[in-house]
Amino acid sequence: MAGALLCYLSPHQYSRPFPPPKLTVASTSDRRPSLPFPLSLSLLPARSPSSPSPSPFDSVLLLCTSLALSVSLFVSDVPPSSAFVVTPPRKLQSDELATVRLFQENTPSVVYITNLAVKQDAFTLDVLEVPQGSGSGFVWDKDGNIVTNYHVIRGASDLKVTLADQSTYDAKVVGFDQDKDVAVLHVDAPKDKLRPIPIGVSADLLVGQKVYAIGNPFGLDHTLTTGVISGLRREISSAATGRPIQDVIQTDAAINPGNSGGPLLDSSGSLIGINTAIYSPSGASSGVGFSIPVDTVSGIVDQLVRFGKVTRPILGIKFAPDQSVEQLGVSGVLVLDAPANGPAGKAGLQPTKRDSYGRLILGDIITSVNGKKVTNGSDLYRILDQCKVGEEVMVEVLRGDHKEKIPVILEPKPDES
């Protein structure tokens, strides 16, 4: 046998030959290595009481045999079937690998935005810049344009943008659209550090498809949350102006404070929306989040980058809250004020006023625009969003006890002209 030590015996030591060796079979379930040769359980014959006591040579023989067996265990080849079982490392499933890859590929496009405000210390009277909020954003192009929500940067005296490699840059505001809660910032960062996010399409989205939100909730580093589109064509109000935002995406992907302005991605890693709001009394994600669709965002960002403003048409009126009109028992938009230099004032719409006796005289109540019924302020905004500056619209109003149709030429907001 290979590697065994040879021990020579003299013939007169034993009067009888060795008994045939007893064989043992190694089982793979033992998880113990089996020997490449038959192992005898008793290499020496059992000694009877009448047998003479073992000589010193017997001990030497037993020691040599034990050494031979021990050496053979280490130098002999052990069959693979009798080797110790090693559990292989767990592998990720294909859908898990796809999610990991999506996060790794899109994280470099997501940035962290810090909103700083100037405040004066009450005791020292020193002027300090203190953080008043934070949010997320993403790289739009290689020119250094960053897209986020307007409410993330509102009221800021200074803005800081932190890229994925933790480098921080001062940011300046290129422009913003309060009505749609979108803003564009600019940073002077090297082009090799800017990774624009892939732009997708939101017109063909379906309820139930998977979505992924990346952001910096609660000031943490990049965080990924997953979910599905739980609703389409929702409507929310702008956090700045209260103007309705149409066709909003509803998702159950967790969107917490700090996720605002971050991207909502589809399974291919393309941008389909900007995470902007949650529906939650506590302020934390409760499974109902909203994202502005990318089709709306693209047009706004294009105008902000090119002109620094969004040219959106207005009627130039102030109207009463919907609840007040409902109490009057009528359906439509009640005109409270129509400045003479505005589109509605120039066209002759009548505002609400008081007579010489202090009695309230209701103004015109807008019931339709271009033949589309108007029942509240949201309807009016929705119709105007489909119009352009300089376009003439036909406004139908209820004046007194009769209806009139008045042509109005739409104009941009005064602060955007």
* Residue 261 structure tokens: 């302005």
DSSP letters, 215-279, are: E-GGG-S-EEEEEEEEEEEEEEE-TTT--EEEEEEEE-S---TT-TT-EEE-TTS-EEEEEEEE-
- Distance between CA 390 and CA 109 in Å, rounded? 38
Phi, psi of 226 (to 5 degrees): -125, 160
- Distance between CA 141 and CA 147 in Å, rounded? 10
The helix (run of H) or strand (run of E) holding residue 103 is helix 94-106
With beta carbons less than 8 A apart as the criterion, state whether 26 and 33 touch.
Answer: yes
Chain-centroid distance, C-alpha 44: 75
The total of other beta-carbon atoms located within 10 Å of residue 305's CB is 17
* Residue 353 structure tokens: 């006023």
* 186 part of the active site: no
* 324 part of the active site: no
With beta carbons less than 8 A apart as the criterion, state whether 408 and 315 touch.
Answer: yes
Query: CA neighbours within 13 Å on the CB side: how many for 204?
Result: 3
Which of 177, 179, 181, 379 does the annotation list as catalytic?
181
* 355 part of the active site: no
DSSP letters, 26-77, are: --GGGTSPPPSS---S-SSPPPPTTSPPPPHHHHHHHHHHHHHHHHHHHHSP
3-state secondary structure 202-218: CCCCCCCCEEEEEECHH
Which of 109, 136, 151, 252 does the annotation list as catalytic?
151
- Distance between CA 41 and CA 52 in Å, rounded? 22
Which of 202, 238, 260, 291 does the annotation list as catalytic?
260
Annotated catalytic sites, by residue? 151, 181, 260
